[in-house]
Amino acid sequence: MTDLYDRQQQVGLTLPPSVTIAGIGGIGSWVAILSAMSGVQNLYLFDPDVMEESNRNRLPFCQSSLNRPKVEVVAEYIRAIRPDAIIVAIPERLEGVLLDIQLSVSAVIIDCTDSPRAQFTIYNACKEHGVRFIRAGYDGTRITVTSVVTGWMRTDVEEENYTVNPSWVVPAVTVAALAVGKLEKFFDQEVSLDISEIGIPVLQRNRRLTARCTQTGTETPTPTRRRR
Protein backbone atom coordinates (compact mmCIF):
# COMPACT_ATOMS: atom_id res chain seq x y z
CA MET A 1 0.00 0.00 0.00
CA THR A 2 1.24 3.50 -0.81
CA ASP A 3 2.08 5.48 2.29
CA LEU A 4 0.56 8.93 2.70
CA TYR A 5 3.99 10.57 2.72
CA ASP A 6 5.82 8.41 0.16
CA ARG A 7 6.22 11.25 -2.31
CA GLN A 8 7.80 13.65 0.16
CA GLN A 9 10.27 11.26 1.78
CA GLN A 10 13.04 12.26 -0.63
CA VAL A 11 12.44 15.98 -0.12
CA GLY A 12 14.38 16.01 3.13
CA LEU A 13 11.90 17.74 5.39
CA THR A 14 12.63 18.30 9.06
CA LEU A 15 9.31 18.13 10.89
CA PRO A 16 9.26 19.72 14.35
CA PRO A 17 7.49 17.65 17.00
CA SER A 18 5.17 20.52 17.91
CA VAL A 19 4.26 23.93 16.52
CA THR A 20 2.34 26.79 18.10
CA ILE A 21 0.50 29.18 15.77
CA ALA A 22 -0.62 32.57 17.06
CA GLY A 23 -3.41 34.10 14.98
CA ILE A 24 -5.69 31.76 13.07
CA GLY A 25 -6.86 34.05 10.29
CA GLY A 26 -6.23 34.05 6.56
CA ILE A 27 -2.55 33.15 7.06
CA GLY A 28 -2.55 31.20 10.31
CA SER A 29 -5.34 28.85 9.22
CA TRP A 30 -3.37 27.86 6.11
CA VAL A 31 -0.14 27.54 8.11
CA ALA A 32 -1.91 25.09 10.43
CA ILE A 33 -3.48 23.13 7.57
CA LEU A 34 -0.27 22.93 5.51
CA SER A 35 1.79 21.98 8.57
CA ALA A 36 -0.59 19.15 9.35
CA MET A 37 -0.64 18.02 5.72
CA SER A 38 3.16 17.88 5.80
CA GLY A 39 3.09 15.59 8.82
CA VAL A 40 3.48 17.82 11.90
CA GLN A 41 1.76 15.81 14.62
CA ASN A 42 1.17 18.36 17.38
CA LEU A 43 -0.34 21.78 16.71
CA TYR A 44 -1.39 24.43 19.21
CA LEU A 45 -3.76 27.06 17.82
CA PHE A 46 -4.35 30.44 19.51
CA ASP A 47 -6.91 33.08 18.50
CA PRO A 48 -9.74 34.70 20.49
CA ASP A 49 -11.88 35.60 17.45
CA VAL A 50 -14.79 33.88 15.74
CA MET A 51 -15.14 33.11 12.06
CA GLU A 52 -16.78 35.90 10.08
CA GLU A 53 -18.17 36.08 6.57
CA SER A 54 -15.27 38.31 5.51
CA ASN A 55 -12.80 35.54 6.45
CA ARG A 56 -14.29 33.11 3.98
CA ASN A 57 -12.86 34.80 0.89
CA ARG A 58 -9.48 33.39 2.02
CA LEU A 59 -10.44 30.17 3.79
CA PRO A 60 -12.00 26.86 2.67
CA PHE A 61 -14.71 26.73 5.34
CA CYS A 62 -18.47 26.37 4.98
CA GLN A 63 -21.20 28.83 5.88
CA SER A 64 -21.84 26.78 9.01
CA SER A 65 -18.45 27.88 10.37
CA LEU A 66 -19.66 31.45 10.91
CA ASN A 67 -19.70 32.75 14.48
CA ARG A 68 -17.74 29.75 15.74
CA PRO A 69 -14.28 30.15 17.31
CA LYS A 70 -11.68 30.17 14.53
CA VAL A 71 -9.45 27.74 16.40
CA GLU A 72 -12.28 25.19 16.65
CA VAL A 73 -13.16 25.47 12.96
CA VAL A 74 -9.54 24.97 11.88
CA ALA A 75 -8.96 22.15 14.38
CA GLU A 76 -12.06 20.35 13.14
CA TYR A 77 -10.94 20.69 9.53
CA ILE A 78 -7.47 19.33 10.28
CA ARG A 79 -8.81 16.39 12.28
CA ALA A 80 -10.96 15.46 9.27
CA ILE A 81 -7.94 15.23 6.95
CA ARG A 82 -5.34 14.07 9.53
CA PRO A 83 -7.15 12.07 12.24
CA ASP A 84 -3.88 11.12 13.93
CA ALA A 85 -2.81 14.73 14.48
CA ILE A 86 -3.11 16.18 17.97
CA ILE A 87 -4.68 19.62 17.73
CA VAL A 88 -5.07 21.84 20.78
CA ALA A 89 -7.44 24.74 20.07
CA ILE A 90 -7.31 27.62 22.54
CA PRO A 91 -9.63 30.60 21.88
CA GLU A 92 -7.31 33.06 23.61
CA ARG A 93 -4.43 35.35 22.71
CA LEU A 94 -0.95 33.89 23.03
CA GLU A 95 0.24 36.03 25.91
CA GLY A 96 1.01 35.94 29.61
CA VAL A 97 1.00 32.52 31.23
CA LEU A 98 -0.20 30.89 27.99
CA LEU A 99 2.91 32.15 26.19
CA ASP A 100 5.09 30.91 29.04
CA ILE A 101 3.55 27.45 28.73
CA GLN A 102 4.00 27.28 24.96
CA LEU A 103 7.64 28.27 25.24
CA SER A 104 8.18 25.08 27.22
CA VAL A 105 6.15 22.70 25.04
CA SER A 106 6.64 23.93 21.45
CA ALA A 107 9.68 23.63 19.23
CA VAL A 108 8.53 26.56 17.06
CA ILE A 109 6.13 29.48 17.43
CA ILE A 110 4.73 30.99 14.24
CA ASP A 111 3.28 34.48 14.62
CA CYS A 112 0.48 35.20 12.15
CA THR A 113 -1.11 37.99 14.17
CA ASP A 114 -1.88 41.52 12.98
CA SER A 115 -0.63 43.04 16.21
CA PRO A 116 2.83 44.69 16.32
CA ARG A 117 2.70 44.51 20.11
CA ALA A 118 2.01 40.76 20.07
CA GLN A 119 4.69 40.14 17.46
CA PHE A 120 7.32 42.00 19.45
CA THR A 121 6.35 40.27 22.71
CA ILE A 122 6.36 36.77 21.23
CA TYR A 123 9.62 37.38 19.37
CA ASN A 124 11.43 38.61 22.49
CA ALA A 125 10.10 35.70 24.55
CA CYS A 126 11.23 33.17 21.93
CA LYS A 127 14.64 34.79 21.72
CA GLU A 128 15.05 34.71 25.49
CA HIS A 129 14.05 31.02 25.76
CA GLY A 130 15.81 29.78 22.63
CA VAL A 131 12.61 28.81 20.82
CA ARG A 132 12.44 29.15 17.03
CA PHE A 133 10.31 32.07 15.88
CA ILE A 134 8.74 32.68 12.47
CA ARG A 135 6.63 35.69 11.56
CA ALA A 136 4.37 35.52 8.51
CA GLY A 137 2.33 38.44 7.21
CA TYR A 138 1.15 40.42 4.22
CA ASP A 139 -0.24 43.81 3.37
CA GLY A 140 -2.11 43.82 0.08
CA THR A 141 0.29 41.95 -2.18
CA ARG A 142 3.41 42.63 -0.08
CA ILE A 143 4.41 39.46 1.81
CA THR A 144 6.93 38.85 4.58
CA VAL A 145 8.32 35.67 6.15
CA THR A 146 11.09 36.26 8.67
CA SER A 147 12.68 35.07 11.90
CA VAL A 148 12.92 38.51 13.47
CA VAL A 149 10.81 41.52 14.35
CA THR A 150 12.38 44.83 13.44
CA GLY A 151 13.19 47.25 16.22
CA TRP A 152 11.41 50.20 14.61
CA MET A 153 7.96 48.61 14.98
CA ARG A 154 5.61 50.72 17.05
CA THR A 155 4.40 48.72 20.03
CA ASP A 156 2.83 51.59 21.95
CA VAL A 157 -0.22 51.64 19.67
CA GLU A 158 -2.20 48.55 18.81
CA GLU A 159 -2.72 48.37 15.05
CA GLU A 160 -4.98 45.50 14.14
CA ASN A 161 -6.17 46.58 10.72
CA TYR A 162 -6.98 43.25 9.11
CA THR A 163 -10.66 44.13 8.85
CA VAL A 164 -9.96 47.10 6.60
CA ASN A 165 -6.77 46.13 4.75
CA PRO A 166 -7.20 44.55 1.30
CA SER A 167 -7.29 40.78 1.72
CA TRP A 168 -7.21 38.10 -0.97
CA VAL A 169 -6.70 34.34 -0.92
CA VAL A 170 -3.58 34.33 -3.15
CA PRO A 171 -1.20 36.33 -0.90
CA ALA A 172 -2.62 34.59 2.18
CA VAL A 173 -1.94 31.11 0.83
CA THR A 174 1.40 32.16 -0.70
CA VAL A 175 2.83 33.57 2.50
CA ALA A 176 1.49 30.61 4.52
CA ALA A 177 3.14 28.12 2.15
CA LEU A 178 6.44 30.01 2.33
CA ALA A 179 6.26 30.05 6.14
CA VAL A 180 5.74 26.28 6.24
CA GLY A 181 8.58 25.91 3.75
CA LYS A 182 10.83 27.87 6.12
CA LEU A 183 9.57 25.79 9.03
CA GLU A 184 10.33 22.41 7.47
CA LYS A 185 12.97 22.88 4.79
CA PHE A 186 14.40 26.34 4.11
CA PHE A 187 15.26 27.34 7.68
CA ASP A 188 17.55 30.25 6.84
CA GLN A 189 15.43 31.75 4.07
CA GLU A 190 13.79 35.15 4.52
CA VAL A 191 11.12 36.53 2.20
CA SER A 192 10.11 40.14 1.67
CA LEU A 193 8.62 40.96 -1.71
CA ASP A 194 5.57 42.00 -3.65
CA ILE A 195 3.98 39.02 -5.36
CA SER A 196 3.09 41.24 -8.31
CA GLU A 197 6.83 41.24 -9.08
CA ILE A 198 7.18 37.45 -9.21
CA GLY A 199 8.01 36.02 -12.61
CA ILE A 200 8.90 37.56 -15.96
CA PRO A 201 6.37 39.91 -17.56
CA VAL A 202 5.09 38.96 -20.97
CA LEU A 203 6.36 41.38 -23.57
CA GLN A 204 3.97 42.52 -26.25
CA ARG A 205 5.65 42.47 -29.63
CA ASN A 206 4.41 43.98 -32.88
CA ARG A 207 4.80 41.30 -35.48
CA ARG A 208 4.96 42.05 -39.19
CA LEU A 209 2.40 40.41 -41.35
CA THR A 210 4.00 37.65 -43.38
CA ALA A 211 3.03 35.94 -46.63
CA ARG A 212 0.51 33.13 -46.28
CA CYS A 213 -0.12 30.09 -48.45
CA THR A 214 -3.53 29.31 -49.91
CA GLN A 215 -5.04 25.84 -49.90
CA THR A 216 -3.78 25.42 -53.46
CA GLY A 217 -0.22 26.05 -52.39
CA THR A 218 0.17 29.43 -54.05
CA GLU A 219 1.48 32.29 -52.01
CA THR A 220 -0.79 35.19 -51.26
CA PRO A 221 0.71 38.67 -51.35
CA THR A 222 1.62 40.36 -48.09
CA PRO A 223 -0.85 43.14 -47.34
CA THR A 224 0.63 46.62 -47.54
CA ARG A 225 -0.32 49.57 -45.45
CA ARG A 226 -1.61 52.69 -47.14
CA ARG A 227 -0.14 55.99 -46.16
CA ARG A 228 -2.57 58.58 -44.97
CB-CB contact of 177 with 34 (8 Å)? yes
51-102 pLDDT per residue, tens = 999 999 999 999 999 999 999 999 999 999 999 999 999 999 999 999 999 9
**Total domain count, the chain:** 1
Residues with Cβ within 8 Å of 44's Cβ and at least 6 positions away in sequence, in order, are 18, 19, 20, 21, 88, 90, 102, 105, 106
Look at the pTM and tell me if it is higher than 0.75.
yes
**Can you give the CATH number for the domain in which 113 is found?**
3.40.50.720
Is 78 part of a structural domain of the chain?
Answer: yes
Is 187 part of a structural domain of the chain?
Answer: yes
- Domain span at 62: 15-197
153-195 pLDDT per residue, tens = 555 555 544 445 778 899 999 999 999 999 999 999 999 999 9
Q: Where are the beta strands (DSSP E) in 94-202?
A: 108-111, 132-139, 142-146, 191-194
